[in-house]
Amino acid sequence: MKQSSLQVPGFAGIHVALIMDGNGRWAEAHDLPRAAGHRAGVDAVRRVVEAAPRVGIGTLTLFAFSSDNWQRPPRETARLLNLVRSFLLQAARDLASRDVRVTVIGRRDRLPPAVQRAVDLAERATTWGRALHLRLAVDYSAREAILRAAARLAALRAPTREAFGRLLAEVDHDEPPARDVDLLVRTGGEQRLSDFLLWESAYAELIFTDRMWPEFDATDLEAAVREFARRERRFGALSPAAIA
């Protein structure tokens, strides 16, 4: 009973979206500066990317930098974007050989030019990856994306969910477009979406964990996927048992 506004062949497996929250609090708890928390967060990213294909994940979307994160002090935003840049440069070298395709969703025009170049490089270097589609959400806001897609809606003769999903993919640079989110996990203890993938998560299963992002590892990811597998998704219909 799988429903998705966009069905994309090529990446077998579920779509997991991760809100990687708690870097700052983890650092504070260890008497470290926030920057150390963000660096430790990158190690956690490497762990989950490595584990994802073997736990049945075909698409992994990571919330790396939200459009609202621009409200943080410039020193912190610069550090975060620099980590995104170095991750992408390394991805261009390492992830291509591991059959991972990397793409970046969100606005690109406000990113520093060095980050924009790293995005291009990583996307081009990994374009043939088929084992995993890794999407990094950078300067991403779901509501802004929905607004920009809505502005293009008038050009459509018959608006449908599928057609709107395609417009959304267009404005987000979501190429190849991903299927809807199956499982959304947020670390760091908060239970909110913070403007992440609002349209695409309409029927996503949600898991909120108290683990801080730098502590998150392959075992946590596997446990989340196992919990997902135990849930019954009904998409508004009745379960077969209720119909009998």
| Residue ranges that bind ligand IPE, judged by CB under 6 A | 19-25, 63-66, 69, 80, 188, 190, 192, 194, 213
Instruction: Show Cβ contacts of residue 243 under 8 Å, excluding neighbours closer than 6 positions.
Output: none
Nearer to ligand IPE, 140 or 164 (CB): 140
Residues assigned a catalytic role: 21, 69
Nearer to ligand IPE, 81 or 132 (CB): 81
State which residue, 21 or 123, has the beta carbon closest to ligand IPE: 21
State in angstroms the smallest separation of the CB of 87 from ligand IPE: 12
Residue 59 binding: pick among ligand IPE, Mg ion, none (C-beta 5-8 Å cut-off by kind): none
As measured in angstroms, the least distance from the Cβ of 132 to ligand IPE is 20
Cβ 225 to Mg ion, closest distance in Å?
Answer: 23
C-beta nearest to ligand IPE: residue:
24
Q: How far is the CB of 138 from ligand IPE (least distance, A)?
A: 9
- Which pair of structure tokens corresponds to residue 133? 């589609």
Q: Which is nearer to ligand IPE, 66 or 126 (CB)?
A: 66
Secondary structure string (H, E, C) spanning the chain:
CCCCCCCCCCCCCEEEEEECCCHHHHHHHCCCCHHHHHHHHHHHHHHHHHHHHHHCEEEEEEEEEEHHHHHCCHHHHHHHHHHHHHHHHHHHHHHHHCCEEEEEECCCCCCCHHHHHHHHHHHHHCCCCCCEEEEEEEEECHHHHHHHHHHCHHHCCCCCHHHHHHHHHHHCCCCCCCCCCCEEEECCCCCCCCCCCCCCCCCCEEEECCCCHHHCCHHHHHHHHHHHHHCCCCCCCCCHHHHC
**Min CB(56)–ligand IPE separation in Å:** 24
Q: Which is nearer to Mg ion, 34 or 179 (CB)?
A: 34
Binding-site partner at residue 190 among ligand IPE, Mg ion, none, CB < 5 to 8 Å by type: ligand IPE
Q: Which of 200, 182, 84, 77 is nearest to 142 (CA)?
A: 200
- Which residues are at the interface with Mg ion (CB under 5 A)? 21
Q: Pick one of Mg ion, ligand IPE, none as the site partner of residue 25 (Cβ within 5 to 8 A by kind).
A: ligand IPE
Q: Closest residue to Mg ion, Cβ-based?
A: 21
